[in-house]
Amino acid sequence: MASASLCLNSLVTLPPSSHSRKLAETSCCCSCLRNGSLAGAFKPIVVSGNPPTFVSAPGRRIVAVGDLHGDLDQTRYALEMAGVLSSDGQDLWTGGETVLIQLGDVLDRGEDEIAILSLLKSLDIQAKAEGGAVFQVNGNHETMNVERDFRYVDSGGFDECVDFLEYLKDYHYDWEEAFVGWIGASKRWKQDRSMSKNYWGPLNLVKDRGRKGVIARSVLFRPGGPLACELARHAIVLKVNDWVFCHGGLLPHHVAYGIEKMNREVSHWMRGLSESDSNAYIPFIATRGYDSVVWNRLYSRDYSDLEDYQINQARFSA
């Protein structure tokens, strides 16, 4: 499991964006009501970049949550502990003007991956109505799935993909409504699937279901697929106020390359819109290699390892 990390921008200085454009002001206007009082005590949240890269959230409480890996129960528990999710099972935002950042690795190892993505989307919509926001950054397990590297996918994760594709048909492939609604529907689909397996018993076509699962996941996560396009809305590196968030670790040469450029390239790749002529193009600096943004573990090792890495980088650059 890759460790999620965050770094102060006093450690890695980020240049101001020269051409990023304001995409959204995610807080509601001061006339919005919350609990009988006026919301909007703080200045609006301003988001720049596509996907979001620079966020100004004056005065907000900021909460970061790391790897969730398809475990919906533990996800809810963590969000309840953080004070942003209701404990009544209704999946309601209780964070007010809080800014929540999920640090990647929602995917793999569990059976409720899409449900968690749906929950985070639903909470973002609710949070914006109260002057808060939910942001996600992609981790190595998100990029692995877009590469169709399914080594760490739980069997239940494949099953969820089959169910979700069938569920989409009921919505006539209306993505926005269907995706947000999956968190409320996934439990019933899982129960129906379990009953079906019990009914068939030894005749259950496990191999056939497994093949369908791989095909369904490939359809959803291939570059340009619906879930890959959903992941493409999220950054690899996100700066909120004076904090920088990423899944693995940000190094000086990443900053020199340009985090907005990295985010844009990864997003284009996930959408199947790569500027490269090669279909195999993958944004290496962000997603591949031991020192890429999503794989970097240098900050969790001895300081001497980081020092040696920086010396080698300097020699290589020279």
The residues that are catalytic are 141
Contact, 85 vs 123, CB < 8 A?
Answer: yes
Distance CA 131, CA 272 (A): 33
109: which DSSP letter?
S
Q: What's the start-to-end Cα distance of the chain, in Å?
A: 34
**DSSP three-state, residue 55:** strand
**DSSP three-state, residue 54:** strand
Q: Are strands 5-8 and 243-246 parallel, antiparallel or unpaired?
A: antiparallel
- β-bridge partners, 8: 243
**DSSP three-state, residue 205:** coil
Please confirm whether the linkage preceding 51 is cis (ω < 30° from 0). Answer: yes
Nearest 5°: CA angle at 296, between 256 and 317?
40
Distance CA 296, CA 237 (A): 13
Tally the C-alpha atoms within 13 A of residue 288's C-alpha that lie toward its C-beta.
9
Residue 202, both tokens: 């030894």
